[in-house]
Amino acid sequence: MREHLKFKQLLSQFKSLKFEEEYLKDFLMEANEEFEEAFISYLEENGITNEELEGPPEEPGPIAEDDGELHESSTEPIDMKHFKKAHKKLVKILHPDKQRDGDPRKEEHEEDFKRMTTALNEGIWAEFFEIADKYNVKLDRVEEANRLLLEDIEKASGTIESKKKTFSWFLANCGEDKDCRDNVIEVYLRSKYGWAKDR
């Protein structure tokens, strides 16, 4: 019983992190554009040309730390034998061939079937467990599920932290404070091009 309660708690924690990760992804899409505009503006205001910057000329923008994709589990592929029964039950519920045309849940089931397939192919076990939980499908090896959830939680936390270390993130958190914004751009120029402002 304790393992089942732990499973629910870990799954809830993963869902929360997944939501935060998706929010940050959207937030940083706008923040990246804002950074590029601030970068170009800073260069123009300070009369800096690409020739003055050391290293090869590059498209101005934030360091590419994020590929925009949700995290994947760090685990090696695991034999489905631990979750074979749950998988079979979910296939019976969700497979497109099992859906009736008039069923109002048909589209939702087909979407969840795709999510489940992607989760298994990419080794994102927490996504698979989330779908199993949604349809009240019990897992045979809850302790193994908890171990995998912990790994996915750790990976998601790491991804979130790395998103919060981008120049775009720091610039966005400056708000309208010009000194702060200029400082972020100057740190970026120093780290990317070895450029330093003449004091």
- pLDDT surpasses 90 at 12: yes
Q: Is the backbone of residue 48 left (phi > 0), alpha (psi -120 to 50) or beta? A: beta
Predicted local confidence at residue 75, as pLDDT = 43
Q: What is the pLDDT of residues 144-158, one digit of tens each?
A: 999 999 999 999 999
DSSP letters spanning 86-155: HHHHHHHHH-GGG--TT-TTHHHHHHHHHHHHHHHHHT-HHHHHHHHHHTTPPPS-HHHHHHHHHHHHHH
> Cβ distance 60 to 43 under 8 Å?
yes
Cα distance between residue 99 and residue 106, in whole Å: 6
Model confidence pTM above 0.85: no
